[in-house]
Amino acid sequence: MNSIKSLVKKHGSPIVLFSKKEFKKSYSSLQKFLPQVKHFYSLKPLPFEECVKIVSSCKGYVDVASLGELEMVKKVDPTMLSRCIYTHPIKKDAEIKSAFENGVDVMVVDNMEEIKKFLPYKDKVKILIRLGFPNDEAKCNLSERYGADEATFKELVNFAFDNQLNIIGASFHVGSQMQKPTEHINAIKKCKVFYDWVFKNHGTRFGTLDIGGGFPAKYNNSDMDLEKFCKPIGEALENFFPNTEIWSEPGRSVAANCMIAVSRVVGKTFKNGKMWYYLDDGVYGTYSGMMYEDITYELYSVKKSNEKPIASIFAGPTCDSVDIIVPNVMFQPLDIGDILFSKRIGAYSVTNRTRFNLLELAKVIPYDFDLEDFENISSSTSVSEEKNLIQKIFGTVFNHTVAPYRYFNKKKI
């Protein structure tokens, strides 16, 4: 707590603390819980140079989805390019060419037009066919946007064999922030059926299976236990793919723990029976996961207080009505200048933020905190209650604006 206070004194606010130690811990945990898997850290949720260095120090692997990400890996540690896969299912020829020139040869396709792009590169490319396994439980149902169905998979495999294109296996992403490992296991079982079909029809066994991301972060002190989540996935892999090289593309679960958002109260007013607090960070800033990802974060105060909690709303610094971090919570009374923080905000937060109102973005401060030191602070907000209230207060407008990804997904546009 004192460390947060002194960091604010030194750097002002808003700030985001970045702990290399916690990032390393999270990546190493996956290596420990699924030791038979090569974990390609998916750079999307936190594409920091430091992250690539840490993964490299863990003798790990990286998953990129753009030339920007690839160039960053190259700049930080060119040796990592040989431990890199390019998993965006849609690519321009210039991207493909540049990836090959840099020695990245594993590419993902999920449709006919895409696989044809590799005909000029038959001698180089190693193809993964991305399969789609839609499910409603995922925070982000990535299979609606990408992933071949069974018929397309077979068509792509037949095309590849007819045209001497080298397919090394299949990949999938069951959706981000899965609550249970069931969908991963179901997908693994379905892949086994597909791989058997390939063997029966083409006499080849694919040597690789990529089980994607979707490993959960432990948001809001939930009882999510990554080891328990991974165990049955490991068993399914042993059962169905004992002799196959297994890859994964974890993003969120590796990045979430390593950041703490720190802000201050910059304004307050009492309205309609509630105390409104205006903070200097919000949903267009470090709390952008609330906008894009339907994630909610708990707020904590660094001030010790015996005062009776009062009904409170916490809003961000922009002029926009949706800039609400916590819509209704009983919270200790606060003054202007008081410091608040939220844990586990490392994934899809600083990457998604924008400078709405041309506000300054929170500065990222390298600070090797131990998350454990912040674990026993009593929680300020009940998340399920908070979610219901968000819906109640802002209805469709809030839903539409704050979670556009999920809104569009549900409408299936």
Ligand X SMILES: Cc1ncc(COP(=O)(O)O)c(C=O)c1O
- Give the interface with ligand X as residue ranges (CB under 6 A): 42, 44-45, 63, 87, 142, 173, 176, 212-215, 249-253
Q: Are the CB atoms for 44 and 70 separated by under 8 Å? A: no
Minimum gap (Å) between residue 312 Cβ and ligand X? 31
Dihedrals phi, psi of 349, to nearest 5 degrees: -125, -70
Within 10 A of 196 (CB to CB), how many other CB atoms are there? 12
Minimum gap (Å) between residue 210 Cβ and ligand X? 9
- In the bound state with ligand X, the residue whose beta carbon lies nearer, of 176 and 328, is 176
| Rounded distance between C-alpha atoms, residue 74 and residue 131, angstroms | 29
Classify 63 as helix, strand or coil.
Answer: strand
DSSP structure class, residue 288: G
313: which residues sit within 8 A by CB, 6+ positions away? 274, 275, 276, 277, 324, 326, 327, 328, 329
Residue 412 bridge partners (DSSP): none
Minimum gap (Å) between residue 259 Cβ and ligand X? 14
Q: Are strands 126-131 and 259-271 parallel, antiparallel or unpaired?
A: unpaired
Minimum gap (Å) between residue 159 Cβ and ligand X? 22
Q: Are the CB atoms for 143 and 134 separated by under 8 Å? A: yes
Minimum gap (Å) between residue 90 Cβ and ligand X? 11
- In the bound state with ligand X, the residue whose beta carbon lies nearer, of 102 and 171, is 171
- In the bound state with ligand X, the residue whose beta carbon lies nearer, of 25 and 268, is 25
Minimum gap (Å) between residue 292 Cβ and ligand X? 11
- In the bound state with ligand X, the residue whose beta carbon lies nearer, of 47 and 282, is 47
- In the bound state with ligand X, the residue whose beta carbon lies nearer, of 26 and 263, is 26
400: which residues sit within 8 A by CB, 6+ positions away? 407
Q: Are the CB atoms for 351 and 256 separated by under 8 Å? A: no
- In the bound state with ligand X, the residue whose beta carbon lies nearer, of 117 and 303, is 117
- In the bound state with ligand X, the residue whose beta carbon lies nearer, of 63 and 114, is 63
Residue with smallest beta-carbon separation from ligand X: 213
- In the bound state with ligand X, the residue whose beta carbon lies nearer, of 141 and 301, is 141
Minimum gap (Å) between residue 368 Cβ and ligand X? 23
What is the full DSSP assignment across 160-186? Answer: HHHTT--EEEEEE---BS-SSTHHHHH
Peptide bond into 14 cis (omega under 30): yes
Minimum gap (Å) between residue 44 Cβ and ligand X? 5
Q: Are the CB atoms for 3 and 367 separated by under 8 Å? A: yes
Minimum gap (Å) between residue 390 Cβ and ligand X? 22
- In the bound state with ligand X, the residue whose beta carbon lies nearer, of 184 and 252, is 252
| Rounded distance between C-alpha atoms, residue 208 and residue 193, angstroms | 14
